[in-house]
């Protein structure tokens, strides 16, 4: 596997692959890779002749009081893990390569329609930062296919809309959430949790399952959402939202609807904020 920092070098490699008519798949990440990322890389391997994984901790998607400074940076371990998954290139650009005019003066992309609610309401500017960097990374690498995890569901919808709306000729593939044995969704942020908190964090997935069961039983959605928050409160969480929405665009569901819904939770355990979701199909 090649470690590439320079966009010029990356472009030369990709141009060579294109001359050989090879299909390029990409997995954009912020590094600190875990089994969830590696399943994306395996999906990329299945879909492409060449696989590029990017590692870039994107400053513009973190709020002023979020964990940008302490976000774990583990490039050497990431490189070893990616090589073991038969990744072809690890692209790790510098901030100046991604934001040549600096982050303040960067051209920004605002995806409208799916970004205002839920995460967007609690993390103002987050999805503009995500869309801004993903467009840059896709333009730098120019893959045929890019893979994103379902765990960050609203991010996935945002990126799908970005790619469709801006006419990028790239297929976006959604990959299933990978979970710990206790149900906790894998996330780089799990390492902020103590051993005890990791055990307790399994409650999030249990609560999502209870929300799904409630919808399938025909319970009122407001009651299901309130019960979910109460359940998380009782387990020591501070919850930003526990919501049931349309899976297509996160708008409100219609009365009596069972199909095409999704339950989503964002909640805090100590100082760690965790998100997860579960699709509901009647
Ligand atoms: O999901 C992530 O790791 C990031 O939000 C992404 C898509 C790589 C953009 O920085």
Is 152 a pocket residue for ligand 1 (Cβ < 6 Å)? yes
pLDDT tens, 94-149? 999 999 999 999 999 999 999 999 999 999 999 999 999 999 999 999 999 999 99
Kindly name the residue from 5, 34, 37, 126 that is annotated as catalytic: 37
Measured between alpha carbons, how far is 141 from 191 in angstroms, rounded to an integer? 30
Lookup: tokens for 164: 């469709």
Q: Ligand 1, residue 149: give the atom nearest the CA.
A: 1
Topology of 2-175 in CATH?
Rossmann fold (3.40.50)
pLDDT at 22: 98
**Distance of alpha carbon 104 from the chain centroid:** 23
Contacting residues for 70 by C-beta, under 8 A, at least 6 apart: none
**Same-fold call for 2-175 versus 188-276:** no
pLDDT at 84: 98
Q: Whose CA is nearest to atom 2 of ligand 1?
A: 29
Could you say which residues of the chain have pLDDT below 70?
A: none
Dihedral, CA of residue 58, residue 30, residue 264 and residue 208, to nearest 10: -160
Class of domain 188-276 (CATH, top level): alpha beta
Domain range annotation of the chain: 2-175, 188-276
Q: How close is the Cα of 151 to the center of ligand 1, in Å? A: 11
Cβ-contact 264, 245 below 8 angstroms = yes
Is 30 a pocket residue for ligand 1 (Cβ < 6 Å)? yes
φ, ψ at 277 (rounded to 5°)? -155, 165
Measured between alpha carbons, how far is 121 from 9 in angstroms, rounded to an integer? 39
pLDDT at 258: 82
Q: How close is the Cα of 230 to the center of ligand 1, in Å? A: 31
pLDDT at 93: 98
pLDDT at 220: 94
pLDDT at 191: 92
pLDDT at 254: 85
Average pLDDT along the chain: 97
Lookup: tokens for 99: 């934001």
Q: Is 37 a catalytic residue?
A: yes
Contacting residues for 30 by C-beta, under 8 A, at least 6 apart: 55, 56, 57, 58, 71, 188
Ligand 1 site-directed mutation target among 26, 29, 55, most atoms within 8 Å of CB: 29
Strands (E), 92-144: none
Q: How close is the Cα of 180 to the center of ligand 1, in Å? A: 20
Q: What is the pTM of this model?
A: 0.97
Instruction: Report CA-CA distances (Å) from 171 to 31, 138, 151, 272.
Output: 22, 11, 19, 33
pLDDT at 257: 82
Handedness of CA 119, 120, 121, 123 (dihedral sign): positive
pLDDT at 77: 98
């Amino acid at each position: 596997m090649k470690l590439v920092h320079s966009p010029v070098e990356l472009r030369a490699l990709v141009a060579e692959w294109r001359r050989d008519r090879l299909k390029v798949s990409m997995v954009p990440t912020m590094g600190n890779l875990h089994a969830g990322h590696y399943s994306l890389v395996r999906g990329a391997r299945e879909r492409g002749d060449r696989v590029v994984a990017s590692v870039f901790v994107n400053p513009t998607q973190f709020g002023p009081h979020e964990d940008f400074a302490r976000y774990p940076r583990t490039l050497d371990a990431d490189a070893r893990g990616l090589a073991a998954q038969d990744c072809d290139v690890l692209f790790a650009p510098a901030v100046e390569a991604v934001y040549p005019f600096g982050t303040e003066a960067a051209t920004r992309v605002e995806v409208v329609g799916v970004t205002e609610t839920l995460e967007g309401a609690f993390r103002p500017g987050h999805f503009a930062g995500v869309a801004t960097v993903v467009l840059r990374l896709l333009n730098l690498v120019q893959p045929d296919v890019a893979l994103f995890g379902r765990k960050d569901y609203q991010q996935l919808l945002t990126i799908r809309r970005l790619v469709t709306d801006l006419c990028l000729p790239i297929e976006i593939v959604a990959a299933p959430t990978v979970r710990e044995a206790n149900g906790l969704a894998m996330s780089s942020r799990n390492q902020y949790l103590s051993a005890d908190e990791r055990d307790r964090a399994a409650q999030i997935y249990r609560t999502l399952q209870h929300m799904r069961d409630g919808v399938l039983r025909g319970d009122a959605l407001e009651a299901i959402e309130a019960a979910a928050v109460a359940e998380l409160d009782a387990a020591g969480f501070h919850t930003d939202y526990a919501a049931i929405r349309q899976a297509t665009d996160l708008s409100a569901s219609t009365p009596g609807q069972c199909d095409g819904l999704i339950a989503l939770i964002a909640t805090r355990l100590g100082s760690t904020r965790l998100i997860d979701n579960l699709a509901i199909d009647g």
